[in-house]
Structure 1
Amino acid sequence: MELDRNSTIPLHRQVENYIKKKISSGEWAVGTKLPSQRSLADSLAVNRSTVITALEELAALGLIEGRHGGGTKVINNTWGLVARRKPADWGNYVEAGRYKSNLPMIRKINEAEFYPGMIRMGTGELSPALLPNERFAGLLKNAPSGLLSLGYQEPKGDIRLREEISRHLMAIGIQTELSSILVVSGALQALQLISIGLLDHGSTLILEKPSYLYSIHVFQSLGMRFVGLPIDSDGMRPEKLSDYKKQYQGSIVYTIPSFHNPTGVVMTEKRRRELLLECGRERLPIIEDDVYRDLWLDAPPPCTLKGMDQSGNVLYIGSLSKILSPGLRIGWVVGPAPVIDRLADIKMQSDYGASSLSQWAAEESLRTGLYEEHACFVREQLKARRDDLAELLDQYFSDIAAWRIPTGGFYVWLKLVPKIDPHLLFEEALRHGILLNPGVMYDRGARQYLRLSYAYAASEEMKKAIRILRKLVMELAGGEKIT
């Protein structure tokens, strides 16, 4: 909203009316926490004192209430003053929902990604400049109407797309029947379906620590617990699996063996065989999340766990999002036919299948060679960006951080030497127009780590961000005032 500076209505009164409108329309329901004074002042382009005056007036009217340490919230008698009747307390419904909210930092990241001018140094997706927009437009323009379907597809996904996925998988050593492939709306939906359809309340996921999965609440929302398994330069270490299985009933292993998120580690072939052997011995099923496989920059990773699996013990997840388009929302799950039947049934109950148009575009991309052609382009571009970031880190962080150069994927897992508050660093970086992914999102103990991405920001943006980031780290470490 823009305030009218030519109006006879004082600015603080305009701010007050703006917040009243948000409350009376129901957009800010009972229990809603208002943005901070600084955020309101920035978004409305006024002094903080103007916002404070408006908030004091609203508090006097009984519309909002400030709580020490809890921010300012809309309170219960709001509708009694605004609409002369008491509203439904949506806050109670929201809190009662089974699905857990994202962590506050992650919600803030999701919002800030769309702020104009923000340099996104943690984003796990390709820059728009690296997406095949023109090629996709050409596909749609020349699409034969006879092959396009705007209706629902069969439960496991379009048969032609599954045929192309099968050929794609064969090239990486996975041979599977079409009945064992389920098309899903991205890898995240695959995890949701698995959590709903295959795991009981109270089940245990054994996973790398740190792990991407700690940053989302797909499994925790269903009452499942996480147990972290140590990870080294060769990948997940399976020697403790037997102990964990005895201690935690209903266990399943989740791993990202190729260009692990967030560390970038590639599990060696030897370690993969050890993991399969140990899981087979302990009768532990494995979820293999392999969405980064095609993002190798120096050499392809070892054979997939699924390709080595001789007992049907591995559920394999793949996706087109990391190479072709995150917005296409097309991925797949490969596993034993009864398991895939179960997941397909749940998917049909949830959304009646992935987008028909997206499935057609994905099939055409695989069939025509567009996917592999674009994968080569993306690898070339990412390698240059990775090298640019490595050079910048050598220049600005060699004395205050440690890291390994990844051989693929999107990320550098940076360990800061100074012990600084990651939340404060996140907030100060955000204030300077830099969006970070602190390590605490992936492991509460990783307070000195940052997941830096070279996939989204352009080279000049990275240079600016790394320069500012060094300054912020030094100031926070030294206790100096940040201006």
Structure 2
Amino acid sequence: MSNLEWVPNRSSQLPLHQQIYAYMKRKIMNGEWTIGTKIPPQRTLALQFNVNRSTIVTALDELVADGLIQAKVGRGTVVMNNTWSIISSTPPPDWRNYVKSGTYQPNQSIIQDINNAESRPDIIRLGTGELAPELLPSEKMKKVFLQNKKQPLSLSYTEPKGDLYLREKICNFLKTKGIAVTPASVLIVSGGLQALQLISLGLLHKGSTIFHETPSYLTSVNLFQSAGMNLFGIPMESEGIKIDLLGRLKRQHNGALLYTIPSFHNPTGVSISKTRRKQLLDVCSKERLPIIEDDVYGDLWFEQPEPKPLKATDQQGLVLYMGSMSKTLGPGLRIGWLVGPEPVIDRLSDIKMQTDYGSSILSQYAVAEWLASGLYEEHLHHIRKELKIRRDLTLQILEKYFSEIATWNIPKGGFYIWLKLDMDVSMNKLFKKGLKEGILINPGNIYDQNDSTHLRLSFSYATAEQLEQGLIKLADLIEKRND
């Protein structure tokens, strides 16, 4: 059951418990909460409805009296029946079995909790990997749509690979990174996740092994696992992935692809050095191991640009290069791109047409205008300055409150600081205690299931005041971890 979107009206003459009772009863009676649906715990409901627990108890008691819910040992409180189940000669479908039968694996429970908690207005988001609302160019975006441009605004479907004008502008943008490519080798996608999904559907078979850095963002999504593939982690060091292991592991595990984030890695913030990038490309070329290069953070450097992407020196079509506007211009645009050999792009564009018939034409129009007008470069300059200020502030707070309990890296760009605690902790307990204190963290075991000492801190979302307030609370929770 996802976050409840309704809250009781405190101005109403109807008591709060009766409003909650009526709301939950409607959910049951109209079939939104089917028989067997588990009702959230009382403490969770009290938090979501912003009421006392006693108010929740009273509302639930009335639902029990109506025979609509029942507390079951080991299962919690579940929906027992509704009007339809009582008067119908045949029972309604058991949607629980349908839900369990789906081939796509659910998110880790802790990630589901994170996704739900991010909608809470009172929460301090210390791990969120996106730009704060105040850093997004909302007003300039409005002007882009209002201005009379030469580029016609169409509301029709685009061609399979995406709007040609946008792909041309992306090609021009990629030239600044040393990547020479034509529009035929560019596919517009609805964010990086869709690019990965298309790759899993169009290029790989069930049982394939995907190599990735450990820790890795890739382990926080079940995209490849849901397609029946295996993830295999390769350790990292200060300069990036340990490439001396690749050859042997490729042969032992028949690796199909390597997924890597060379610039400002998620979650560690590490960047692969120029020398290591060349070595990585050489090894993968020798082993015939294709690379998925995720470069969504590459433009967010602070003092100096990152080394050229792997794709810039790829002369064999070895690298599938992913870029996106989600981390720079706005995640709601849902616009990214995948660059690769034409046969690959042709194959994946055909699958994309079968799944969604193209990304939003309005978003494609907007991104093309930002790239063509020079607004995007101006925006990047502004965002780099703002992120550096937030990074420096976060480092100052860490130095003041965490110097005796943790160590950390100093990222040269991106969003993240990889905080290493000086002791093992129960990440689940720390996460839950944080939620009670109004802070949301991203534990390291999301990115490596065996990790019990790291946290991914993000300085891109919380305000300066929230960063200080939240990190002080977090330090206190860590020091009192045994309480």
Same fold per superposition (TM over 0.5): yes
Residue pairs, 1:313-352, within 5 angstroms: 313-352=318-357
SS of 1:295's equivalent? coil
1:418 matched to 2:423: yes
Which letter does structure 1 place at the counterpart of 2:364? Q
Q: What residue is the counterpart of 2:407 in the other structure?
A: 402
SS of 1:293's equivalent? coil
SS of 2:155's equivalent? coil
Would the alpha carbon gap of residues 4 and 334 (structure 1) be closer, same or farther in structure 2, given more than 3 Å must change? closer
Q: Distance in 1 between matches of 2:329 and 2:21?
A: 46
TM-superposed CA distance for 1:244, in Å, is 2.1
Would the alpha carbon gap of residues 229 and 6 (structure 1) be closer, same or farther in structure 2, given more than 3 Å must change? closer
CA contact (8 A) 2:301 2:414 kept: yes
CA contact (8 A) 2:168 2:182 kept: no
Q: Distance in 1 between matches of 2:41 and 2:87?
A: 23
The partner residue of 2:8 within 2, 6, 20 is 2
Which letter does structure 1 place at the counterpart of 2:78? K
1:462 matched to 2:467: yes
TM-superposed CA distance for 1:451, in Å, is 0.6
Q: What residue is the counterpart of 1:287 in the other structure?
A: 292
Residue pairs, 1:92-103, within 5 angstroms: 92-103=97-108
SS of 1:230's equivalent? strand
The partner residue of 1:176 within 158, 178, 181 is 181
Would the alpha carbon gap of residues 242 and 78 (structure 1) be closer, same or farther in structure 2, given more than 3 Å must change? farther
CA contact (8 A) 1:30 1:78 kept: no
Q: What residue is the counterpart of 1:42 in the other structure?
A: 47
CA contact (8 A) 1:415 1:448 kept: yes
Q: Distance in 2 between matches of 1:463 and 1:259?
A: 23
CA contact (8 A) 1:79 1:85 kept: no
SS of 1:376's equivalent? helix
SS of 2:188's equivalent? strand
Note the residue ranges of structure 1 that are not aligned, 5 or more in a row: none
Q: Distance in 2 between matches of 1:115 and 1:135?
A: 27
Q: Distance in 2 between matches of 1:17 and 1:408?
A: 50
Q: CA RMSD in A?
A: 2.1
TM-superposed CA distance for 1:92, in Å, is 0.9
CA contact (8 A) 2:29 2:82 kept: no
**What is the CA deviation profile of residues 283-315 of structure 1, one whole-angstrom value per residue up to 9, with x for unaligned ones?**
111100010000111221111111121211110
Q: Distance in 2 between matches of 1:12 and 1:356?
A: 46
The partner residue of 2:79 within 63, 74, 79 is 74
Residue pairs, 1:47-66, within 5 angstroms: 47-55=52-60, 58-59=63-64, 63-66=68-71
Residue pairs, 1:255-270, within 5 angstroms: 255-270=260-275
Would the alpha carbon gap of residues 398 and 338 (structure 1) be closer, same or farther in structure 2, given more than 3 Å must change? same
Residue pairs, 1:134-153, within 5 angstroms: 134-144=139-149, 147-153=152-158
Q: Distance in 2 between matches of 1:362 and 1:146?
A: 12
Would the alpha carbon gap of residues 223 and 75 (structure 1) be closer, same or farther in structure 2, given more than 3 Å must change? farther
Q: Distance in 2 between matches of 1:278 and 1:101?
A: 35
Which letter does structure 2 place at the counterpart of 1:37? Q
Q: What residue is the counterpart of 2:309 in the other structure?
A: 304
Residue pairs, 1:369-388, within 5 angstroms: 369-388=374-393
CA contact (8 A) 1:259 1:266 kept: yes
Which letter does structure 2 place at the counterpart of 1:2? P
Q: What residue is the counterpart of 2:230 in the other structure?
A: 225
More off after superposition, 236-245 vs 382-391: 236-245
**What is the CA deviation profile of residues 392-445 of structure 1, one whole-angstrom value per residue up to 9, with x for unaligned ones?**
000000000110111111000101123221111111211222111111111111
CA contact (8 A) 2:8 2:19 kept: no
Q: What residue is the counterpart of 1:271 in the other structure?
A: 276
Q: Would you say how many aligned residue pairs link Structure 1 and Structure 2?
A: 477
Q: What residue is the counterpart of 1:238 in the other structure?
A: 243
The two structures have a TM-score, normalised by structure 1, of 0.93
1:443 matched to 2:448: yes
TM-superposed CA distance for 1:51, in Å, is 3.0
**What is the CA deviation profile of residues 180-213 of structure 1, one whole-angstrom value per residue up to 9, with x for unaligned ones?**
1111111111111111111111111100011001
**What is the CA deviation profile of residues 204-263 of structure 1, one whole-angstrom value per residue up to 9, with x for unaligned ones?**
110001100111111111111100001011101122222322332352110001100000
1:368 matched to 2:384: no
Q: Distance in 1 between matches of 2:12 and 2:328?
A: 50
Residue pairs, 1:195-234, within 5 angstroms: 195-234=200-239
Q: What residue is the counterpart of 2:4 in the other structure?
A: none
Note the residue ranges of structure 2 that are not aligned, 5 or more in a row: 1-6
Q: Distance in 2 between matches of 1:97 and 1:278?
A: 39
Q: What residue is the counterpart of 2:170 in the other structure?
A: 165
TM-superposed CA distance for 1:48, in Å, is 2.3
CA contact (8 A) 1:121 1:436 kept: yes
Q: Distance in 2 between matches of 1:384 and 1:432?
A: 26
CA contact (8 A) 1:63 1:78 kept: no
